[in-house]
């Protein structure tokens, strides 16, 4: 075989292979549904739409809220009375009152031994009777001396003696009468009685003990009246006045309503707090010595409120997500105030016409697109025209939807 024939055969094989390749490409294009020559490179897919949240919106609700001032303090007796013995050296023979007893004025709380006092009282009565008899004799002698004074039957000296004896006898009678009253008082002091209506808050009296003058046997809360002594800062003290209502919260969660009676005229130099005295009604849940929290009612003020679920806390600040007419949210910083139930007062950053995401805001970011469900337009129109109180739209769980290929 010559070299030229070898080249000719090589060219024929290459041509055959090219034909077979073209046929294979045509067959693949026919299976794919498009001619191979017409198929162009695929275009870049359009960017999928960003997923959005289906949310409900609400508008700030105008209204009037009670303005309160919170304080802490202790419950104490309005006034306590110390009840002690006045007689000295007498033994306690009976105790009739215990701690917690409600007593009336004049009620016997304890008795002291009265044997020695009764004996002294009898002796004084006898001495008084003797002095009265002496006075009667002296009065008779003085009367006769006055009758004989003009006749000269007796001397002037004797007359003076009879008159002096009469005055002396009268003075002795008065002295014995005073001694008798003293013994009667001492006898009455053997009965320890309640000086006022009230509740016994302490008892030191014990049977067999020797009572001493000034020794405290009982302690009593006068009239059973208690008061709450609230500590208020000097800046807040000027907002209070007598007659304001105050609601006390007991440790078990009960609420007792009292009235401000008076405000202390001085401020503690160390704490810079002043005391406010609040009269409390009789209530078994309130006891002297207990610690309690409370609040003073200062009247009502206008308030713009939102559901607490609509206010977000981020980095120590409060924010709301406001929806614009294009259904995009913007993160607005707001200042908040009082809280009542599930609502919070918004002091600034929104208007009554603002559309605010009611819930699910933690899943959103500034500039996100949302799909508003419900009828926020009607709520906004009503808020703009009437300014009436509107109930917040029910909070719906935010569900993420996808627009386009994810």
- Domain of 128, CATH number, reads 1.10.287.470
Which of 265, 283, 300 corresponds to the end of one domain? 300
Rounded Cα–Cα distance for residues 127 and 173 (Å): 9
Provide the pLDDT for residue 83.
Answer: 93
Total H helices, total E strands in the chain: 5, 23
Q: Same structural domain for residues 177 and 219?
A: no
Q: Indicate whether 73 belongs to any domain.
A: yes
DSSP string, 146-193: HHHTTTTSS-HHHHHHHHHHHHHHHHHHHHHHHHHHHHHHHHHTTEEE
Q: Are residues 101 and 203 in the same domain?
A: yes
User: Are 309 and 378 in the same domain?
Assistant: yes
The pLDDT of residue 10 is: 56
Q: What is the pLDDT of residue 11?
A: 59
Residue 258, domain member (yes or no): yes
Could you say which of 171, 189, 207 is where a domain stops?
189
Last-in-domain residue among 300, 323, 344:
300
Pairing of strands 108-112, 191-193: antiparallel
On whether both 97 and 220 belong to a single domain, the answer is yes
Are both 310 and 373 inside the same structural domain?
Answer: yes
Instruction: Compute the mean pLDDT over every residue in the chain, rounded to the nearest whole number.
Output: 80
Block residue for tokens 């739209």: 393
The span from the CA of 18 to the CA of 302, in Å, is 90
Closest to 80 in 3D by CA, of 223, 184, 187, 176: 223
Q: Are residues 98 and 219 in the same domain?
A: yes
pLDDT confidence tier of residue 374, bands split at 50, 70 and 90 = low
Structure confidence at residue 329 (pLDDT): 86
Question: Does residue 381 lie within any of the structural domains?
Answer: yes
- Predicted confidence at residue 105, as pLDDT, reads 94
* Domain membership flag for residue 182: yes
Q: DSSP state, 285?
A: T
- 218 and 99 in a common domain: yes
Do 320 and 332 belong together in one domain?
yes
Tens of pLDDT, residue by residue over 112-158, are 999 888 999 999 999 999 999 999 989 888 888 888 777 777 788 88
Q: Does residue 44 have a pLDDT over 60?
A: no
How far is Cα 221 from Cα 203, in angstroms, rounded to an integer? 12
Backbone angles phi, psi at 6, to 5 degrees: -65, -40
Q: What is the C-alpha end-to-end distance of the chain, expressed in Å?
A: 67
Let me know if residue 45 belongs to a domain. Answer: no
* CATH code (residue 289): 2.40.30.170
Cα dihedral 170, 175, 180, 184 sign: positive
Tens of pLDDT, residues 183-193? 999 899 899 99
Q: Is the pLDDT of residue 371 over 90?
A: no
Q: How far apart are CA 245 and CA 248, in angstroms?
A: 10
Would the pLDDT of 43 be above 70? no
CA distance 34 to 256: 87
Dihedral sign (CA 149, 153, 155, 159)? negative
Q: Name the most confidently modeled range: 41-45, 136-140, 396-400.
A: 136-140
Domain range holding 104? 80-86+93-108+195-224
CA distance 387 to 59: 11
In a domain, residue 46? The reply is no
Asked if residue 320 and residue 396 are part of one domain, the reply reads yes
156 versus 288: the higher-pLDDT residue is: 288
Assess if residue 48 is contained within a domain: no
Q: Are 323 and 315 in contact (CB under 8 A)?
A: no
Total domains in the chain come to: 5
């Amino acid at each position: 075989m010559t070299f030229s024939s070898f080249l000719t055969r090589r060219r024929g094989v290459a041509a055959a292979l090219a034909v077979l390749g073209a046929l294979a490409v045509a067959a693949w294009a026919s299976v794919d549904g498009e001619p191979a020559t017409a198929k162009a490179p695929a275009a870049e897919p359009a960017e999928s739409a960003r997923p959005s949240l289906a949310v409900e919106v609400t508008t700030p609700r105008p209204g009037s809220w009670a303005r309160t001032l919170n304080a802490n303090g202790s419950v104490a007796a309005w006034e306590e009375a110390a009840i002690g013995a006045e007689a000295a050296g007498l033994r306690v023979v009976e105790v009739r009152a215990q701690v917690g007893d409600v007593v009336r004025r004049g009620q016997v709380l304890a008795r002291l031994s009265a044997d020695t006092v009764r004996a002294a009282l009898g002796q004084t009565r006898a001495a008084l009777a003797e002095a009265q008899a002496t006075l009667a004799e002296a009065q008779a002698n003085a009367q006769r001396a006055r009758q004989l004074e003009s006749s000269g039957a007796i001397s002037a000296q004797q007359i003076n003696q009879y008159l002096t004896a009469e005055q002396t006898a009268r003075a002795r009678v008065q002295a014995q009468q005073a001694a008798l009253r003293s013994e009667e008082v001492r006898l009455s002091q053997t009965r320890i009685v309640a000086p006022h209506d009230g509740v016994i808050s302490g008892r030191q009296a014990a049977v067999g003990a020797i009572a001493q003058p000034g020794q405290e046997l009982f302690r009593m809360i006068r009239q059973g009246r208690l008061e709450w002594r609230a500590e208020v800062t000097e800046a807040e003290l000027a907002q209070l006045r007598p007659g304001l209502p105050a609601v006390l919260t007991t440790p078990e969660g009960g609420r007792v309503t009292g009235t401000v009676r008076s405000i202390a005229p001085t401020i503690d130099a160390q704490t810079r707090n002043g005391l406010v005295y609040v009269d409390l009604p009789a209530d078994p849940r309130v006891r002297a010595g207990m610690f309690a929290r409370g609040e003073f009612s200062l009247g009502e003020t206008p308030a713009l409120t939102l559901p607490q679920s609509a206010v977000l806390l981020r980095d120590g600040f409060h924010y709301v997500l406001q929806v614009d007419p294009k259904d995009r949210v913007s993160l607005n910083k707001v200042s908040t105030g009082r809280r009542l139930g599930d609502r919070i007062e918004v002091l600034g950053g929104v208007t009554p016409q603002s559309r605010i995401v009611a819930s699910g805001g933690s899943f959103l970011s500034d500039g996100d697109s949302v799909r508003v469900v419900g009828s926020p337009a009607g709520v906004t129109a009503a808020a703009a025209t009437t300014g009436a109180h509107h109930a917040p739209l029910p909070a719906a769980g935010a569900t993420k939807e996808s627009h386009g290929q994810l």
